[in-house]
Structure 1
Amino acid sequence: MVFVFLICGVVGDYSASADIYRYEDDEGVVHFTDAPTDRRFKIFMRDIKKDRKLRTTFKLARFTRNPAEFEPIINQCALEFGVDKSLVKAVIHAESGYNPNAVSPKGASGLMQLMPKTAKDLKVANTLDPSDNIRGGVRYLRFLLDTFRGDEALAIAAYNAGLSRVAQYNGIPPYQETRTYVDRVLTYRKSYQATN
């Protein structure tokens, strides 16, 4: 296995740290950078100061749309499917940053980043329509919560890594991305609970 490090912006004082991103190419070469130029780069190591700030504050400027705009849809779907609205908001925040037009490199789309097959199974006609997307995402969360007998951490892990991976490892998969995702969603959820 070959490792390639590309650290950008090393000028003057390097006391400021940054997130480090990683991806492994088709030839098994592992690339690291603090300035990703390719969508294949995934977060590998977070800047602790930046992450702590992100976990304790919400900056609406980071959102593509005002989260309050989606409040009625979230409340309606959360009530209909019996899912805590703070959890729904946390998943939306982690998945898309409230960008209803977000599309991932893997094809997940909309506020709750539904994969095409999942959207089809949930009968979501238009994943970029906020109402359809949230309804499908909350319905899927309800299914995962029921599958894991209310264990939110496992349901969130399955939302990120897939149901089969959680079943395969009989718990949260040992993927850093998934573990970070679960921590982030649960932290966001606490923040939303505090503001409700």
Structure 2
Amino acid sequence: MTWKKSLLALALCALAPFAAAEDASQDPEELRYLALKYEHARGGVKQDYNEAYRLYCQAYWQGDAQSAYNIGFMNFNARGRARNLGQAMFWFRRAAEKGDLLARRMTLLYKDIASEDDQGCKPPPPPPVAVAEISSPSRKAVEGLVNQIAPRYAIDPKLVMAVIQAESGFNPAAVSPKNAQGLMQLIPATAERFGVKDTWNPTENIRGGTAYLNWLMRHFGGNVVWVLAAYNAGEGAVEKHQGIPPIEETQTYVKRILGHYQKTTHPVPPEPGTQTSASRPANRRPV
């Protein structure tokens, strides 16, 4: 190997991690376009079915329905892999759920073929949670605060603890990419809505998050499933879809909390500061 080729090889190795990171920030349509090049050897790109599959998969997890259809097509037509009609239908059905018309047609034509889960295309890991420099109370200390605060809002402390576990893993300094902050991951608008002035203060954060749970419980008539979905995706999204929105993150979030809490109904609490539930909204949602 000449010295020029050696330098080129070293440069490519050094750039590989950055290329992977760049993929993650690309628009899903750009990822699909690049995947098409690898699948069909277009634009001077050498055919590479594995790379095409990887890029389609990444685009799909960013919401691209056509990429799901294209993975189904690769399985259906044995492009770079053994023909697998079950996995093809798995992807056609996912694409159809996202509104792809060609995929919908395939699901009708081959409706008798059962889907087979494709274990090769996993969602990307969540972005790392930034950590501020704040002293962290122990889980036991957090539980003590929850046991003091939750009864004031007539919310089951076990539910509050399950939400904290899912939201921050009991880290009061957690910050999400959407700027949700603290133990119960309050975004600034929610913090302001419920009078939280310092989201990094564990007591204030728990108070604000529990006040929001109280409001959601009254709004959704004690339907825990809808309350959790709304805590994650917003009450507007739950009202629009009359249930858990078709958002993978929200669906996973609800399942994870119910795995700990294991109750789908909760007594409708009174409005904070009242002694009875007379002022609460009517039970507007089926439970």
C-alpha distance in 2, partners of 1:176/1:77? 31
Residue of structure 1 in register with 2:156 after alignment: 84
C-alpha distance in 1, partners of 2:234/2:143? 27
Q: Match for 2:176 among 98, 104, 111? A: 104
Q: Kindly provide the CA deviation profile for residues 10-36 of structure 1, in whole angstroms up to 9, marking residues without a partner as x.
A: xxxxxxxxxx9x7539xx989x76774
Larger relative contact order (CA 8 Å, sep ≥ 6): 1
Report which of the two has the higher share of helix: 2
Residue of structure 2 in register with 1:119 after alignment: 191
Residue of structure 2 in register with 1:155 after alignment: 227
Change (3 A) 1:35 1:139: closer
Superposition deviation, residue 190 in structure 1: 4.0
Q: How does 1:51-62 map to 2 (within 5 A)?
A: none
Superposition deviation, residue 69 in structure 1: 1.2
Aligned-partner SS, 1:106: coil
Gaps (5+ residues) in structure 2?
A: 1-28, 36-51, 69-120, 129-135, 264-287
Moved segments of 4+, more than 4 Å: 32-36
Gaps (5+ residues) in structure 1?
A: 7-19, 41-63, 192-196
CA contact (8 A) 2:181 2:200 kept: yes
C-alpha distance in 1, partners of 2:154/2:200? 23
| Matched residues, number | 152
C-alpha distance in 1, partners of 2:194/2:170? 21
Change (3 A) 1:177 1:186: same
Superposition deviation, residue 65 in structure 1: 5.2
Does 168-177 or 94-103 show the bigger shift?
168-177
Residue of structure 1 in register with 2:167 after alignment: 95
Superposition deviation, residue 118 in structure 1: 0.5
Identity among equivalent positions (%) equals 42
Residue of structure 2 in register with 1:69 after alignment: 141
Superposition deviation, residue 188 in structure 1: 1.6
TM-score, normalised relative to structure 2: 0.48
Matched, 1:182 2:254: yes
C-alpha distance in 2, partners of 1:34/1:136? 31
Change (3 A) 1:33 1:176: closer
C-alpha distance in 2, partners of 1:77/1:150? 19
